Structures are given as C-alpha cells and as structure tokens.
Amino acid sequence: MMKNFIRLFAPCLFLLLSGCQSTEVFSIDYAMPAQVSFPARLRSVAVVNNMSDTPEDRPLQSSDEKTDRQEDNGEITHITHFYQGDGTVATESLAQAIADENYFDEVIICDSALRAHDFFPRENLLSQEEVKRLVQELDVDFLIALENVQIKAVRKIGFSPYYNMFIGTIDANVYPSVRIYLPNRQTPMATLNGNDSIFWEKLGATYGSANKQLLTDQELVKEASQFAGIAAVKQLLPYWETAHRILYTGGSANMRDAAIYVREENWEAAVGLWRQTYNAKRVSKKKKMRAAYNIALGYEMQDSISQALDWSLKAQALAYETDKVESKLTQENVEAEDVPNYIITSYYVSELQKREKAMNLLQMQMKRFEE
C-alpha cells in the first residue's frame, strides 16, 4: 500500500514544501546510459534512410473534427491527424545529432531513400547482403538505419478569456523507429522504438488568425521529422538528464552555514557540518533525518552514488519513524501531508537506486574514451 502511495504522490512532492522556508529546490544534471551498448571496436557509422518515400506531405489518416462548446465566448476545436514523417529530413537530423555527440570517430550520412520505389509506407529489414554492400561502399564499421517515423498531431483552437484572444496549439507525438545493423550479423543488433512530443502555440485576435498562424501540414511534417531524428539519439547514445533535488537549509546554525558552502559548491565542507548535526547527542529525529538526507545529496553531487544511497536509506528510516508511518498504514485515507518526510526520502531513494543501477552500464559505454 505505502509503495503505491509513494508512486502516486511523488510527482507532487515539491508542492509539499512550497510553503517551507527552510528548504531550497535546485536542478542537477547527470549522465544516463543509452538503451544499447556499442562495442568499442565500432568507430565509424553510416546513418541511412530506410524509410518508404511518400510523394506528398499530407495526413495518412484524419479523425473527424471535434467541436466542444465553451462557456465563455466561442468554441474549442480538436482535429487529430496522423502523418508519415519525412525520411530525408529525419535521417539528416539523426546523423547531425549523432555527430554532435562526438561518440564515434566518424559519422557518414546516406539520406537517399533505400525504399524509394515503395508505393505504401512500410518497414523492411535490410538484408545482410545489403548491409555488407553499404558498409563496404561507405567505408564504415556498421549502420544505423532510420526505419520509420510516425507523427500524431492534435490541433486545438479555442478562445481564452485570460488573454481575451484565441489560442491555437499543435501537440505532436513522434514515433521514430531505428535499427542497428552489423555486417557480420544476419539480423539487426537492436531495434529501438522511440516516443517523444513537441508543442507549438500561437495567439490571434480571431479564430481564423490563430488558425492561420499555426504550421501547415508540410511545415508540421518537416519540423516534427527533424525533432524525431534528435529524439532518437537519446536511445542510441548516453544522454544528460535533468532532475530536481531538495536541500534542507534551516533548523540549526550548522544547517544554515552548510547552505552557504553549498552556494560556493564546497560540498565536502557542507557534508562535514551535516555530519556534526547527525552525530550530535541532543538532536531530534527530524533534524537527524534532514541532516542524513543532505549528506546523501552531498555525496551525490560528488558522484559517490553508493554512499549517497546509504545515507538516503538512513534518512528514509528516520522519516518512517518521524512521520509515524507504521500507525498510518492501516488508514484508508492517507494524505500526502500526513507523511511528507517519508514521501520525500523514499522518492530520493528511488532516484538514487535508478542512478546506481545505470552507473555500471554508463561506465561500460564510456570506456571507448579511455582507450
């Protein structure tokens, strides 16, 4: 029950601290491994377009227009379209994004559609003979092939009383499909199917002017296809992820002084002060819990994930006692504010567990730079 409770309220955990003056929230960037690991011997790659070539940038399928009445001045219109992406644009974007990461020694693009004569969009594996021929002709170690890009776009136009204008939006989901081919394998090394979204918004004095400013079908397909190529790189190569962290800054002189060290990015000195608070004989469990949490954060910021996880578990155990979680497990209606410290510490434990699990894989994927 409590695990489900944590998952339910974790996205709102920072709202629990919105009125608290003794905390700060800041962003942290850290590297995460890709879904696939490339052997270090694969140094050069050709990015090829294995999509069917569509003659026109028009919707493959369109839903019926849906209009809902609004209480205030006007209507709100939803139109859903499905598109086949532009293979040339997406392949160029994918190749450029891979090259920008400097993960491989050489990145070559082959954006001419290998399935140019297909009448209907389809996915078709490259044969081993085709892979060997392309690898030899392009003088590379392996291929990354863009196999398909599907786009689902929802156009929405409605009147906004707040702006006293009409707002036109397009919310598009892109679904790129990529395969990795090695010349010595009969089947692809991996198949990756991505899913990401991109959003546009325009204002207009009238319904027509808001609609006119939105992207045309052709513009939408081009921009979404370019975005799909970039989105696919996150699955192929290690990437940076941004997360939010909480820092406890009040409650004692040590905590306030440590916060100054944090602003100076002197995490080692800050950890020293938090340890003093944690080890003090006359200190409440709540202050001890916050000190342990901050120590975990200090070790994470120094990339000592194992130590950070150990201290986050100590903070979680103290939060369990502080929030009297055991006595609340049997209650039917438990609110987030009833166990705020346990939610915060448990969420942080899960974040660090995710990082620790990814660390070994990330180190393996980055070994090529050690050589």
What angle is formed at CA 300 by the lines to CA 298 and CA 302, rounded to 5 degrees?
75
Q: How many CB atoms lie within 10 A of CB 64?
A: 8
287: left (phi over 0), alpha (psi -120 to 50) or beta: alpha
Q: Given the structure tokens 């120590």, which residue do they identify? A: 295
**pLDDT tier at 328 (50, 70, 90 boundaries)?**
confident
Q: Tens of pLDDT along 133-171?
A: 999 999 999 999 999 999 999 999 988 888 889 999 999
Give me the pLDDT at residue 188, please. 95
Give me the pLDDT at residue 115, please. 56
Q: Tens of pLDDT along 172-192?
A: 999 999 999 999 999 999 999
279: helix, coil or strand? Answer: helix
**pLDDT tier at 232 (50, 70, 90 boundaries)?**
very high
Residue pair 233/239 in contact (Cβ under 8 Å)? The answer is yes
Q: How is the chain split into domains, by residue range?
A: 2-33+241-369, 44-237
CA–CA separation, 232 and 194 (whole Å): 6
CA–CA separation, 271 and 257 (whole Å): 11
Q: How far is CA 26 from the centre of its chain?
A: 18
Q: Tens of pLDDT along 81-95?
A: 999 999 999 999 999
**pLDDT tier at 234 (50, 70, 90 boundaries)?**
confident
The CATH number that domain 2-33+241-369 falls under is: 1.25.40
Sign of the Cα torsion 243, 312, 34, 371 reads positive
Give me the pLDDT at residue 371, please. 60
Q: For the chain, what percent of residues have pLDDT higher than 90?
A: 63
The CATH number that domain 44-237 falls under is: 3.30.160
Give me the pLDDT at residue 71, please. 39
